[in-house]
Amino acid sequence: MENLEHFLAQVWFIILALFLFLYVMLDGFDLGVGILSLTSSDEDRRSMLMTSLGNIWDANETWLVLMGCALFGAFPLAYGTVLNALYVPIFGMIFGLIFRAVAFEFREYSTNKVFWNVAFGVGSFMAALFQGFALGSILEGIAVDEAGHFIGGI
């Protein structure tokens, strides 16, 4: 039974790594296009960038949701510790993702697209920035006690 527990932990770790890899690869394109749209000089070029995202931009965050659910189901203590340690970067990332989703949808029907173009680019930049903050915090190390609970600060 002990071998099975180690095997399942490794399988779930590989699944989580796959979800993270898919999210970084697929949504990295979307975030890059959003940030690049801030530097676009005219509306036709920006519209071409936004059209390239088309039907795929909102599906890529699904990998992030799946990763969170799998982490909660497979490693609940790690989920609680990591999420508790990363409240600020995760909420900043979520705010950026929501901001860019709203901007993407409202830009389609707006007569004045300038505000929504900037909102999409800023939301993409915020999401990428806060993902970097979360990665930096993880690489720096998360302070935990003997029971595995987060004991650090913001």
Which pLDDT score, from 0 to 100, does residue 14 have? Answer: 95
Does residue 2 surpass a pLDDT of 80?
no
Ranges of beta strands (E only) in 4-148 are none
Does residue 126 surpass a pLDDT of 80?
yes
Q: Nearest to residue 17, comparing CAs of 74, 57, 96? A: 74
pLDDT band at 54 (very low <50, low <70, confident <90, very high): confident
Does residue 12 surpass a pLDDT of 90?
yes
Average pLDDT over residues 75-89: 90
CA–CA gap between residue 104 and residue 115 (Å, rounded)? 11
Which pLDDT score, from 0 to 100, does residue 73 have? Answer: 93
Contact 46, 35 (CB under 8 A): no
What do you get for the CA distance between the two ends of the chain, in Å?
Answer: 39
Does residue 128 surpass a pLDDT of 80?
yes
Average pLDDT over residues 104-121: 88
pLDDT band at 129 (very low <50, low <70, confident <90, very high): very high
Does residue 89 surpass a pLDDT of 80?
yes
Enumerate residues 6+ apart whose C-beta is below 8 A from 71: 16, 78, 79, 82
Q: Which residue has the tokens 């979520």?
A: 94
Per-residue CA distances from 27 to 78, 101, 131, 149 (Å): 24, 13, 12, 31
Which pLDDT score, from 0 to 100, does residue 74 have? Answer: 92
Top-ranked range on mean pLDDT: pick from 2-11, 16-25, 42-51: 16-25
Which pLDDT score, from 0 to 100, does residue 41 have? Answer: 81
Does residue 50 surpass a pLDDT of 90?
no
Q: What is the rounded average pLDDT for all residues in the chain?
A: 88
